[in-house]
Structure 1
Amino acid sequence: MNDHQKGLCITTLGVLLVVPDALFVRLIAAEPLTIAFWRLALAGGMLSGGILLVQGTKPFRAVLSAGRYGAIYMLGVGSSGVLFVLAVSLTSVANVVFIIASLPVFAALFSRVFLDEPVSARMVLTMVAVITGLAIIARGSGEPANAHWSGDALALAVSALFAAALTAARHVRQVSMVPGAAMSYLAAALVILPFAAPLSVASEQAPLVLMHGGFILGSSALLALGPRYITSAEVGLLVLLESVLAPLLVWAVVGENPGPWALAGGSIVVGALFVSNLRALRHRRIRNRP
Structure 2
Amino acid sequence: MFALAGVMLMMGLGVEGGLLGDILAFGLTVCMAIIMVIARRFQNIPIMPAACVSALLSGLVCWPVGDPLAITGHELLILALFGVVNSAVGLALFTLGARHLPAIETALIGSLDAPLAPLWVWLAFNETPGASTIMGAVIVFIAVCVHLIAGTLGRRAKLDPAMF
TM-score (norm 1): 0.44
One-letter amino acid matched to 1:213: G
In structure 2, C-alpha distance between the alignment counterparts of 1:265 and 1:257, rounded to whole Å: 14
> Where in structure 1 are there 5+ consecutive unaligned residues?
1-127
Change (3 A) 1:181 1:219: same
Shift of 1:275: 0.9
Of 117, 131, 137, the match for 2:10: 137
What RMSD, in angstroms, separates the aligned Cα atoms of the two structures? 3.3
Q: Which amino acid is 2:36 matched to? A: L
1:109-158 deviation digits (Å, cap 9, x = unpaired): xxxxxxxxxxxxxxxxxxx3233323433447536xxx444323321221
SS of alignment partner, residue 256 of structure 1: coil
The CA distance in 1 between the partners of 2:106 and 2:7, in whole Å, is: 22
Q: What is aligned with 1:257?
A: 128
1:269 aligns with 2:145: no
Task: Tell me the SS of whatever aligns to 1:261.
Answer: helix
SS for the counterpart of 1:198 is: coil
Correspondence for 1:179 among 35, 49, 58:
49
1:198 counterpart residue number:
68
Any idea what SS the aligned residue of 1:173 has? coil
| 8 Å contact kept, 1:135–1:265 | yes
| Counterpart mapping for 1:237-248 below 5 A | 242-248=113-119
| Cα distance in 2 for residues equivalent to 1:185 and 1:255 | 28
State whether structure 2 residue 162 is matched by structure 1 residue 288: no
* Aligned counterparts of 1:256 and 1:140: Cα–Cα separation in 2: 21
1:222 corresponds to which residue? 93
| Distance 1:254-1:231 versus aligned 2 partners, 3 A rule | same
How far residue 194 of structure 1 moved from its aligned partner, in angstroms, is 4.4
Amino acid at match of 1:160: V
The one-letter amino acid paired with 2:51 is: A
Query: Matched residues in 2 for 1:199 and 1:186: separation?
Result: 16
Equivalenced residues, count: 159
TM-score (norm 2): 0.70
